[in-house]
Each structure stands twice: as C-alpha cells, then as structure tokens.
Amino acid sequence: MSARTERCGWMADRANRSSRVESRDKGEAQVSRLRSTRTVVALGFTLIEMMVALAVFALAALALIRLEGATIRGAGILDSTLTGQIVARNVAIEAMTDAKPPALGIASGSEQNGGKAWSWTRTVAATGDSRILRIDVTVADSDGRPAGRLTMIRSGSGS
C-alpha cells in the first residue's frame, strides 16, 4: 500500500468516525430534547388534581375555623365562670370574716365585678355540730345562668 492510500484510508476512517460522532450527538440532543419535554409535562398538575387539592384545603380550612370558634366560645365561658367564682369567694369571705356569724337562712344580693352585674344567693345552714355553720354561695350572671358555686365552713360562735 502506498503512503497516499494509507493517508486516504486514515482520513476516510477519521471522516467516518467524525460523522458517526456528529450523528450520535444529534441523536442525543434529540433524545435530550424529548426527555426535557417529557419532564416539563410530568411536572405539571392536571385540572382534576388541582380541584381535589383545593377541596382538601377547603375542608381543612373549615375545620380550623370551626375549631377557632369553639376555642373562642370556650374562652368566653371560662372567663364568665372564673369571674363568677371570684364573686362567690368574695361573698363567702365576707361572711367568714364578719365578727358575728351570719344568720341561718337564705340571703341574696348583687355585686359588680369585671364590668358585669352578678347576682348571688348565700345559704347558711347548721351542721350536726351546733358550733359549725355551713355557708353555700351560688352566683349567676345577668342572664341567670349559674357561673360559680362555693361552700365554706365557719364557726357558729362569735369568736
């Protein structure tokens, strides 16, 4: 073989390799473009998926709103009960700290506390021991709902 043939053979071989690499690169670019197109399609959500997600979110939001409403209602009831207990304790302590024991029977009145009017009823009863009195205090809010109750024991003598 002559040098020229070798050279032509070598150049032809190189040209063949080059064209194969180029076609392979074109093929990979095409496959890559198709893959990226598929990836873009796969990353999106369908309308039905979005509607289902929105429905789930709406149900969760409604549940949280109902929970918040129950919490606010509970806080209002707790505030009313706590203030009613404070009024009941004030009335009972007043009966406990008087120099004279309270008279047996039922007494009632009203107090202002926390910007509200509270009605109270104090019942004083004798126990099995004549030296001890039982004092029951019941408090109701302005609507008449019971808000507090307290029972105390006090000596029945004047000391």
pLDDT at 40 over 70: no
Torsions phi, psi of 146, nearest 5?
-60, 135
pLDDT of residue 118: 94
DSSP the chain: --HHHHHHHHHHHHHHHHHHHHHHHHHHHHHHHHHHHHHHHHHS--HHHHHHHHHHHHHHHHHHHHHHHHHHHHHHHHHHHHHHHHHHHHHHHHHHHSSSPPPSEEEEEEEEETTEEEEEEEEEEE-SSTTEEEEEEEEE-TTS-EEEEEEEEEESS--
pLDDT of residue 65: 95
Q: What is the mean pLDDT of the chain?
A: 82
pLDDT band, residue 115 (cuts 50/70/90)? confident
pLDDT digits (tens, 9 = 90+) for 138-159: 999 988 899 999 999 998 775 5
CB neighbour burial string for 5-40, b if at least 16 within 10 angstroms, e if fewer: eeeeeeeeeeeeeeeeeeeeeeeeeeeeeeeeeeee
Identify whether the C-beta of residue 153 lies closer than 8 Å to the C-beta of residue 146.
no
pLDDT of residue 75: 93
pLDDT band, residue 30 (cuts 50/70/90)? low
Question: CB 124: neighbour CB atoms within 10 A?
Answer: 19
pTM: 0.60
pLDDT at 19 over 60: no
